[in-house]
Chains A and B, each alone.
Chain A
Amino acid sequence: MTTTYHPPPLPPPFHHTLTPNLTTTSPIPMELITQGAEAHLYKTTYLSPATPAALKIRPAKPYRHPVLDRRLTRQRVLQEARCLVRLVREGVSVPGVLAVDWDLNSNSNSNSNSNSNENGNGNENSRGEGQGEGNTGSEDNGTEAKAGNGAWILMEWIEGIALKEVFRGWEASLKDNNRDENTAEEQAAAAAEERVKALLRKIGVAVGGLHRAGVVHGDLTTSNLMLRPTPSGQQSGKGEKVEGDGDEGEIVLIDFGLASQSIQDEDRAVDLYVLERAFGSTHPRTERLFGEVLEGYRGSYRGAGSVMKRLEDVRMRGRKRSMLG
């Protein structure tokens, strides 16, 4: 029944990437990192082989109506890119945007498959628009009712590990510990817990910085929080408060696929609630420490207080949900 999964072919221009390269010295790596729900994430390079980059391809979703799919894919890749660009400007630690293609033509795959360069010209002429100077119109002609072919975004590569792994590691170590009266072990465990708490507070500060910049993430899970090692060990996050403990790196928020620009308490509170629930479902044994995240968040910007109040309402709504609608 279950067949081996083959990811869809890479969209242009990346379909050149894997073809044997006769003139350049070494092939460009293109490594599938994850198949997320919405996108395939590849590790590749940008401009030069020395610059690692993350390529996020959003293939068309065949299960969706083509019109809806095109609308969503394009809307989301652009929303993601816009949020990231804004956050970079605001100094929040997120991957920078290097390049975007928000509307791959259905026909571009076949057209530019060969590396014949004349294809581009031919297409251009057949389009016959946007040639004149001062054209301020939209870039995409013929968006209506046509099936799209997905989109991609190329971003800075973030070194480090996902916090999901950090917490999983910690929870695994909890299971191993037997509860003997071994004081040394207990002390080590207590120290480990303190480090985890410090890390949780740092998450809160990072989420606060995000919200302060006017963006809500929309999908805060521990998979989307990276711990990037600080280069020298002396520097900490840009402009963020330096935490005493647990300073093994800087929190970098990734995957803004469901992010949006908002300064509403409600949206911010839902962001926190989604994160809280992610802890509950993914790290049941860390859930009890979630208060530390809120502690870090509380002090991170003006306005955090009213968001925390709103969070209570959102939680109440959540608990009621087993009732009939």
Chain B
Amino acid sequence: MSSSLLDTIHLAHLPPSMAVHVAVYRDVQNAPFLRQQLLSANSEFEYAFIDASVVLSRTHALSAVFRAANDFMNGRLKSRNVHSEIVFSLNPTTNIAESFRKFGITDSTKDLLVIKVSVTPEITHDSVAAHLNQYVEGTPVPFDDETLSKIADVAKIKKAYKLGTLNTAPPNQANGTHDDGMKRLELSVLGAIALRGAT
């Protein structure tokens, strides 16, 4: 039942074979177990496990995937594999440990974003769906902006990207809107992802 919510996406400009599989879960019960698999480098669990509360939108998550995939294809990974690189790509600085602390799954994670890239032909929508279905104890929800906006902790995101002073509230003029502010926040976050590591 839950497998049907796994979203399989072909990102523009990536090779057709490189499908991206994304699932979102709420009320996750076994975060410590999932995190342990990562720590023990269990290859069965090579995923990007992301704390969904620090994800603003679909575009935000997929931008990190795009960056990681491009670095992967150019032989420029800074972490173990493309999936750890996705978590790292969310981070505005080049500190990998920090990126996992801020964006990765923690023992207390309740809302989880899972990403898997088809880097080999064996990784398919069905294989990923079945595996997640078996091991993630949580309520699958759709990977869309509406859902993500409910989960997102905007204050935490601003802090993670050092955008504390960015005004996302409606400006004092009547014409500015909340949407404008959120759009600006999202673009600022995308810019930070794109520029990470630039010297």
Contact = CB atoms under 8 A, between A and B. Distances in A.
A136 B67 CA distance: 18
B32 interface: no
B96 to A, nearest CB: 5
Nearest to B177: A235
The B contact surface, by secondary structure, is loop
Interface in B81-128: 82, 93-98, 100, 119-120
Interface string B1-19: 0000000011111111111
Most buried by B among A47, A48, A89, A108: A47
Interface in A102-136: 102, 104-105, 108, 111-112, 115, 117, 119-120, 122-124, 126-127, 130-136
Contacts of A136: 93-95
A77 to B, nearest CB: 9
Interface residues of A, number: 65
Contacts of B176: 238-239
Given A88-B187, A138-B197, A238-B180, A133 B97 contact: yes
Contact of B96 (A24, A96, A134): A134
A305 interface: no
Contacts of B75: 105, 108, 111, 119-120, 122-124, 126-127
Given A102-B198, A130-B78, A131-B79, A85 B191 contact: yes
B73 A47 contact: no
B149 interface: no
Interface in A175-226: none
Report, nearest first, the 5 A-B pairs whose CB atoms are least far apart.
A123-B75, A96-B187, A85-B191, A139-B197, A115-B15
15 contacts: A12-B74, A13-B70, A13-B73, A47-B66, A88-B187, A97-B187, A119-B75, A120-B73, A130-B77, A135-B78, A136-B93, A139-B76, A139-B196, A238-B171, A239-B171
Interface of A: 12-14, 16-17, 21-24, 28, 44-49, 51, 78, 81-82, 84-85, 88-89, 91, 96-102, 104-105, 108, 111-112, 115, 117, 119-120, 122-124, 126-127, 130-140, 154, 156, 234-236, 238-239, 242
